[in-house]
Amino acid sequence: MQYVSTRGQVAPKGFIDTVLMGLADDGGLMIPAEIPVISPEALEEWKNLSYEELFQQIFSLYINDEIPAEDLKAMVKRSYASFRTPEVTPVNKINDSLYILELFHGPTFAFKDVALQFMGEFYSYVSKKQNEIIHILGATSGDTGAAAIQGVRGKDGIKICILHPHQKVSKIQELQMTTVNDENVLNLSVKGNFDDCQKVIKDLFADLDFKAKHHLRAINSINFVRILAQTVYYFYAYFHIDAEAQASKKVNISVPSGNFGNIFSGFLAKRMGLPIHKLIIATNENNILERFVRTGEYKPGDFKSTHSPSMDIQVASNFERYLYYLLDENVEKVSEYMKQLQTEGKIVVSPELLARVQNDFAAYGASNDECLKYIGEYNEKYDYLLDPHTACGIAAYQECSEEDEVTITFATAHPAKFDEAIALCMIEQKFPEQISALLTKPQYQQVVDHDQDEIVRELEKFYGDK
């Protein structure tokens, strides 16, 4: 398997080089040159695999022979040993038309752990095997940062710097990141929003001299390995709903979305042959993706702080990967559209393309009030406490699903991470011990202006010259 850039200016690369490259050197995003298609017979055989076995099957289609099978197996085992359930991502049946895939049983209680625990292992492996210097630079609206830090803290040969928007993440997210005092971790709290943080890191990755000098590696979903690791639970979820529902109903998946990484993994799984009916994009009031699916116009709007802060994102990084497929893998057109986004501030697709978008996705943006309404309603009716991001997923399921369909909604975080919203619903929750323990710990972070030069100076100090 070779990997190419959505903008076509990078020579094809193998798997490990693709992961090390992160953002493609031409400013695009790396994607597989061809997507492998799984036959219905093979899918049938995969149904009974454990999470770890499924992971191994899927990855073996993408990694060539760059990682020996036994090394991959050991990495996967270590990655999921820290999860609180052997199923890794258990499926919970709520009623005959709704299942919830719980993605929050990892060390930092959010779906990011599923891919980032593996990525920590992967970077550690590559650092040792190939003597690579791994200097991770990432941006977070709260969950990626916590999970990435947890995945690599204290690991030899790796340093990690995470930019998060100052006072725009939940208290628990902030504590998860900033109570870590390992020498290889730096938290920069940037006076700005997530889009500002993401722009800074993308600009730094695009500066190829700076990137090479400091050995910058990406952990955000600009990195294809994140996308691939996230496809595993789409397969797992589908295989773990009732056999009868699989056989007689259309199966939708509703995904709380922001940077478009999680749902793009679903798009990939569908192209690999997983029989998903509708992929439902669930957003909050930062509803650029919903507006795109409704109107064909992709235009970042004004940033809003909502009850689901991890999805407070206007510029969805992985949109470019989807655009590549929407434009029939035409790299010139992708480059043209992305340039247009920069110069004119928007992309508008033709009615024909819009029809294809609407065939690929349904979408719904939940208001703040709806988010709280569903938290209260599901707690009362099903005794199930939704986190505010999952509540947006539920709102989208309620809005976009039909009678002959069954929907799997992804629970992307544990409610304890977002007690600010839960408290507004007048619900008192009991925190898991690992979260309560954070409340009394000292914090380590540096507050910086949203100023690239100031951030570069901090990075130069942290990464050093080697």
Ligand X SMILES: N[C@@H](CCOP(=O)(O)O)C(=O)O
Ligand Y SMILES: Cc1ncc(COP(=O)(O)O)c(C=O)c1O
Smallest gap, in angstroms, from Cβ of residue 300 to ligand X? 15
Q: Closer to ligand X at the Cβ: 273 or 300?
A: 300
- Identify the residue among 79, 141, 254, 390 touching ligand X (CB under 6 A): 141
CA distance 214 to 198: 18
- Name residues contacting ligand X, limited to 312-341 (CB under 6 A): 317
Smallest gap, in angstroms, from Cβ of residue 261 to ligand X? 4
Residue 438 tokens, joined? 């954070």
Q: Is 388 in the site for ligand X (CB under 6 A)?
A: no
Q: How many residues make up the chain in this entry?
A: 466
CA dihedral 283, 120, 269, 49 (to 10 degrees): -120
Smallest gap, in angstroms, from Cβ of residue 213 to ligand Y? 29
Q: Is 143 in the site for ligand Y (CB under 6 A)?
A: yes
Beta strands in 66-133 (DSSP E): 91-95, 98-102
CA distance 386 to 375: 5
Smallest gap, in angstroms, from Cβ of residue 259 to ligand X? 4
Quick one: which H or E segment has residue 448? strand 446-449
Starting at the earlier edge strand, list the strands of the sheet with 98-102.
Answer: 91-95, 98-102, 405-411, 250-256, 279-283, 361-365
- Please count the CA atoms within 13 angstroms of the CA of 426 that sit on its side-chain side: 4
Residue 198 tokens, joined? 């993401």
Q: Which of 158, 234, 202, 290 is nearest to 26 (CA)?
A: 202
Q: Closer to ligand Y at the Cβ: 189 or 284?
A: 284
Q: Is 254 in the site for ligand Y (CB under 6 A)?
A: no
For strands 91-95 and 98-102, give the pairing.
antiparallel
Residue 176, binding choice from ligand Y, ligand X, none, Cβ under 5 to 8 Å by partner class: none
Q: Is 310 in the site for ligand X (CB under 6 A)?
A: yes
Residue 25, binding choice from ligand Y, ligand X, none, Cβ under 5 to 8 Å by partner class: none
Residue 412, binding choice from ligand X, ligand Y, none, Cβ under 5 to 8 Å by partner class: ligand Y
Q: Is 110 in the site for ligand Y (CB under 6 A)?
A: yes
- Identify the residue among 55, 118, 123, 260 touching ligand Y (CB under 6 A): 260
Task: Single out the segment in contact with ligand Y by CB under 6 A; choices: 62-70, 179-187, 198-206, 257-265.
Answer: 257-265
Quick one: which H or E segment has residue 158? strand 158-165
Q: Closer to ligand Y at the Cβ: 102 or 143?
A: 143
- Identify the residue among 20, 371, 413, 425 touching ligand Y (CB under 6 A): 413
CA distance 144 to 434: 18
Q: Closer to ligand X at the Cβ: 155 or 226?
A: 226
List 47, 77, 93, 112, catalytic entry: 112
Q: Is 284 in the site for ligand X (CB under 6 A)?
A: no
Q: Is 310 in the site for ligand Y (CB under 6 A)?
A: yes
Residue 32, binding choice from ligand X, ligand Y, none, Cβ under 5 to 8 Å by partner class: none
The three-class DSSP label of residue 11 is: coil
Residue 365, binding choice from ligand X, ligand Y, none, Cβ under 5 to 8 Å by partner class: none
Q: Which residues of 94-104 are buried (b: 16+ CB within 10 A; e: fewer)?
A: beebbbbbbbb
Instruction: Indicate the angle between helix axes 261-271 and 224-239, nearest 10 degrees.
Output: 60
Smallest gap, in angstroms, from Cβ of residue 146 to ligand X? 8
- Identify the residue among 56, 89, 127, 144 touching ligand X (CB under 6 A): 144
What is the DSSP code (8-state) at residue 307?
Answer: S
What is the DSSP code (8-state) at residue 384?
Answer: -
Q: Closer to ligand X at the Cβ: 229 or 425?
A: 229
Contact 440, 186 (CB under 8 A): no
Query: Is the Cα dihedral 389, 442, 444, 116 positive or negative?
Result: negative
- Name residues contacting ligand X, limited to 162-191 (CB under 6 A): none
Answer yes or no: 333 catalytic.
no
Q: Is 258 in the site for ligand X (CB under 6 A)?
A: yes
CA distance 82 to 150: 11
Residue 140, binding choice from ligand X, ligand Y, none, Cβ under 5 to 8 Å by partner class: ligand X
Point out the residues that are catalytic: 112
Task: Give the interface with ligand X as residue ranges (CB under 6 A).
Answer: 112, 140-145, 220-221, 258-259, 261, 310, 317
Contacting residues toward ligand Y, per CB under 6 A: 110, 141, 143, 221, 256-263, 310-311, 389, 412-413
